[in-house]
Amino acid sequence: MKKNGLRQVVLELSYHPRERVDLFRSFDEKQQVSLLKKLSHHVLKDLVNRLPEEELITLLEKMDPDEATDIVRLLSKKHASKVIDGLNERLKQDITMLLSFKPDTAADLMSLNYIMVEESEKISGVSEKVLTHEKRTGKLPVILVVSEQHKLLGFIPGFKLAIAKMHDTASKHINKIATINFDTSEKDVLDFFSQHPHSKVVVLGSSNNILGIIYSDDVIKLMQDEEASALYDFAGVNDEESVYDNGKRKIKFRHKWLLINLATAFLAAFTVSLFHNVIEKQVLLAVYMPIVAGMGGNAGTQTLAVMVRGLADHDLGWKDIGRTLKNELYAAFINGIINGLIVFLILAIFNRNVLVGVVLGVAMVANLMVSATFGTLVPVVLRKAGKDPASSATVFITTATDVLGFMVFLGLATILLR
């Protein structure tokens, strides 16, 4: 399959769940393996759980152990057990070993595409091991050099193997390589690669034994997944949802968020209803109410985005949070003054209503400061409570800016526009 053809097949498999298995079976095994690497999470999960054990076993045996393990994790326990039992002994051992580690750790990201050679081994012997590994897996391995006690000393870059003399020992061509513990969290792996942008890192076990290799490609993919997940959370969309989902599936993932938003909207509407008398007297207030809610919501979202990023990158202390809140309030006050003056001038010039302009301008300043306060503190409180602020903070922030913004706007109007 060409690149465009592969993309089209992925779309067909995604959009047509009933024909998914039959369409998948219409391709040869090599093409099927390529497709398994391109499908979205939930489409892949649905497909592999509907394939018979013998078909899935054949495909898994053509994949790298780490890739095969990712697919096994998607299977039901009963299905996974039968599939693992049917695999060849080497792959069965590799997958069983990889499944023994916790998900979302360095061990879950690692590849087994490496060979170990002793420092005293001749380059001729190293070359033979490389060729044997390549014939078996179809990939050139990372050459890790160990001592007689199997302590990691470094690795031999491919270009050095090409120019080395056959009678040289492996120790003569060693380069240093970074290491990381197997139980390191994915977040810490990302931080590690950000601070030390190596192309690969060796994963060590509890006794400093070599377990596998993490490549920069795997970390880049993880970063992309993290970004996509954060975007879904921020929008209140489940990360299992895809653009290819049918209507029923989209309803399943979104209705709870929409019901919560509906409840908060009723709360804002109730707040407005408390001031119906002043709105009846000054219809212009109703015209400009959306500006109060919209500006507060947008400002709160800006503050939330900065806080979520900060909480993800750093463990912020209360002193840091206090300093951040002070800066956010200062920025909100100045921005409120600027925007408040603009809306005051618009109402004074075009609507010739200075008092409503004053009310809207003051409400603008107040609501931007409300949004700064809630946008800063709500994600912190949710993080302390063990919740994900990216996925849940927006509801609380928009509720606060709508309700308090309307109360300030309409309350001030009630006082000044009697």
| pLDDT at residue 143 greater than cutoff 70 | yes
| Domains of the chain with bracketed CATH | 3-100 (1.10.220.30), 109-234 (3.10.580.10), 247-416 (1.10.357.20)
Mean pLDDT for all residues in the chain: 86
Least confident of 97-106, 175-184, 248-257, 321-330: 248-257
pLDDT value of residue 144: 92
pLDDT reported for residue 87: 93
Residue with tokens 């946008």: 375
Amino acid 315: pLDDT: 64
267-320 pLDDT, tens digit per residue, is: 988 999 999 889 888 888 999 899 988 898 889 888 888 887 777 666 677 888
pLDDT of residue 99: 92
